[in-house]
Amino acid sequence: MNTRKNSGASGRGKRILMRGFLMAVGAVVVFGFMLSGCSRVSTEPDEVVLHYAGGTFEAKKFERCINPSSGATLLGPGDTAYSYPYGQRTFDFSGSKDAESDPISVVSKDNVEMKVAGSATFTLNTDCKVLRQFHEKIGLKYNAYYEGETSEGWDRMLNFYFKQPLDRAMDAASQEFEWKKLYNDPAAKQQWEERVGELARQFIKETSGGDYFCNPNYAGTGPCGDVVLTIQKPEPPESLVNALAAEQAAKAENAAQAQRNAKIRTELESIRDLAKVLGPQGALLWQAIQSGKVEVIPVPQDGSITIAPQGRNRNSRE
């Protein structure tokens, strides 16, 4: 009897141990499966990452910002990381090989179309709360976050939020000036630049709807500051530039001719004054002497005069 009881207890113990073992193995398998779905993220000095938690079976929700130069951070299964640039960035509209845009066209007050090249330098506002707003409002719409080394979505975003406001600002400012003033007058160009900067910052902020694009020196705290614009002198069509050069050349020639005419008038006045004093023949003789056409020979006291034809020795007597 005791033997059977001991035998039954021993069997139940073995089954309990087996179940515990299977549960442990299952937990290890599940944990391994979970780890296999995890990933690690580390950030570069010029990079900030938004971490969103949530996988296939649960809604995504914002988790945290991962600051620049952060070591490896473990993300859960299904979690997503969105990378954005940290530090100074530039929207280049010079039309060069690596530029984001061609030069911008503007129309002057006198309806001349001109081209303007330049750049807008800024820092993306990486304050965690503001960056999250930017990502959810703009970044996701354009896929503006970085995937690898570059982001086509980032370039599309800049063309909308920088090029279009800049285009509006430059057109509005250029309508206040004639093309010759913009091209040739430094004072007018300075006024135009100030007006463009004022309108561009206003339009960029209005288009984005927030302080997402800050001064290049913005460090994440305090006032966001303004985007810095560097714009070149507006360039009119080549035909107008050539016409302006010809006009300036004609003005220079007219000025030179006026000076020549003034000199001639002065000389004539001088001749008239001489004629009043010396008479017509005396005035002509005076002019001939002054020009070297007539040579004056002093007369010695004894009255003898030696005349030597030009090119002969004056010491020979005739």
Segment 74-112, tens digit of pLDDT: 788 888 899 999 999 999 999 998 899 999 999 999 999
Q: Read off the pLDDT band of 26 (50, 70, 90).
A: very low
Domain presence at residue 313: no
Q: Read off the pLDDT band of 25 (50, 70, 90).
A: very low
Same domain, 181 and 57: no
Same domain, 245 and 219: no
Same domain, 54 and 149: no
CA 280 to chain centre: 72
The tally of CA atoms less than 13 A away on the side-chain side of residue 129 is 3
Domain presence at residue 40: yes
pLDDT above 70 for 118: yes
Give the angle subtended at the CA of 26 by the CAs of 20 and 32, to the nearest 5°.
Answer: 140
Same domain, 232 and 243: no
DSSP state of 101: S
Same domain, 116 and 207: yes
**Per-residue pLDDT reduced to its tens digit, 32-85:** 334 445 778 888 999 999 999 986 667 889 999 999 998 877 788 888 899 999
Say how many C-beta atoms besides its own lie within 10 A of residue 144's C-beta: 24
Domain presence at residue 168: yes
Same domain, 275 and 210: no
The whole-number average pLDDT for the span 158-162 is 93
Same domain, 144 and 282: no
Q: 211-215, 235-239, 274-278, 304-308: which has the minimum mean pLDDT?
A: 304-308
Same domain, 159 and 261: no
Same domain, 121 and 172: yes
Q: How far apart are CA 273 and CA 253, in angstroms?
A: 30
Length of the chain: 318
Same domain, 63 and 129: no
- What does the pLDDT read at residue 197? 92
Domain presence at residue 182: yes
**Per-residue pLDDT reduced to its tens digit, 238-284:** 877 676 656 655 565 566 666 666 666 776 777 777 677 767 777 67
- What does the pLDDT read at residue 259? 66
- What does the pLDDT read at residue 78? 82
Q: Checking DSSP bridges between strand 118-124 and strand 113-116, what pairing results, if any? A: unpaired
Q: Pick the residue with more confidence: 60 or 312?
A: 60
Q: How far apart are CA 190 and CA 184, in angstroms?
A: 11
The whole-number average pLDDT for the span 127-147 is 94
Burial class of residue 313 (count of CB atoms within 10 Å of its CB; 0-12, 13-18, 19+)? exposed
- What does the pLDDT read at residue 55? 65
Q: How far apart are CA 200 and CA 203, in angstroms?
A: 5
Q: How far apart are CA 186 and CA 233, in angstroms?
A: 9
Structure tokens given for 144:
């503006």
For the chain, what is the mean pLDDT? 78
- What does the pLDDT read at residue 280? 74
Same domain, 180 and 113: yes
**Per-residue pLDDT reduced to its tens digit, 161-203:** 999 999 999 999 999 999 899 988 999 999 999 999 999 999 9
Domain presence at residue 312: no
| Inter-residue contact 75 to 101 (CB < 8 Å) | no
pLDDT above 50 for 4: no
| Inter-residue contact 163 to 171 (CB < 8 Å) | no
Q: 235-239, 284-288, 301-305: which has the minimum mean pLDDT?
A: 301-305
- What does the pLDDT read at residue 298? 64
Same domain, 139 and 37: no
Q: How far apart are CA 195 and CA 199, in angstroms?
A: 6
Q: How far apart are CA 214 and CA 134, in angstroms?
A: 13
Domain final position from 28, 51, 75? 75
What's the predicted TM-score (pTM) here? 0.64
- Our count of domains for the chain comes to 3
Domain of 244 in residue numbering reads as 238-297
Domain presence at residue 222: yes
Residue entry with tokens 């937990």: 27
Q: Checking DSSP bridges between strand 118-124 and strand 88-92, what pairing results, if any? A: antiparallel
- What does the pLDDT read at residue 261? 65
Domain presence at residue 318: no
- What does the pLDDT read at residue 146? 87
